[in-house]
Amino acid sequence: MTALNLTAVVWGVTGALFFFGLAIVTLRRQLLAMLLGLELMLAAVNVSLVHHAGIFNDAEALAVVALVIAVAAAEAVVGLSLILRMRRGGRGADAALLTELQG
């Protein structure tokens, strides 16, 4: 019964966090805010994976969580680097202004 209640809490939190992350990525126009929304979605998925690992004693799910955390860290570093470079180049940090690629 306790595990069932915790499962309900975890699924509710995962769904709500993922929804808010998706809404931030689609509705906000600043690139940094969109990056934060992506991080929020990854964190939401991790919550359900950790709960899955606890219920089924699945070490592979924990391994996937560790890998997702590492990939998210690398993605944040690269994303922030790109955003800062665009701001320094005078192209702003608004997604609406980025309409073409330039080498």
Partner 1 sequence: MIVLAALVAGAVAVFFAGVMLLHRSLYVSAVSLLVVLLQTAVLFVLCGSPLVGLLQVMIYAGAVMVLVVVTIMAAGAEGGRFADFSFPKPLAWAGLLAAVAETALVLAHGTAPAAAVVDPALQARLGAVLFKPYALATEAVTLLMFLAALAIAPEKEAA
Query: Counting contacts by CB under 8 A, is residue 32 touching partner 1?
Result: yes
Contact with partner 1 (CB under 8 A) among 16, 91, 97, 98: 16
Query: Counting contacts by CB under 8 A, is residue 98 touching partner 1?
Result: no
CB of 54 or CB of 95, closer to partner 1: 54
Which tokens in the block code for residue 63? 């391994």
Query: Counting contacts by CB under 8 A, is residue 10 touching partner 1?
Result: yes
Q: How would you label 74-103 residue by residue, b for 16+ Cβ within 10 Å and e otherwise?
A: eeeeebeeebeebeeeeeebeeeeeeeeee
Contact pattern from residue 50 through residue 79 relative to partner 1, giving x for each residue in contact according to CB under 8 A and a dash for the rest: xx-xxx-x-xx-xx-xxx-xxxxxxxxxx-
Report the C-alpha gap between 103 and 89 in whole angstroms.
13
Query: Counting contacts by CB under 8 A, is residue 34 touching partner 1?
Result: no
Query: How many other CB atoms are there within 10 angstroms of residue 3's CB atom?
Result: 10
Contact with partner 1 (CB under 8 A) among 24, 95, 100, 102: 24
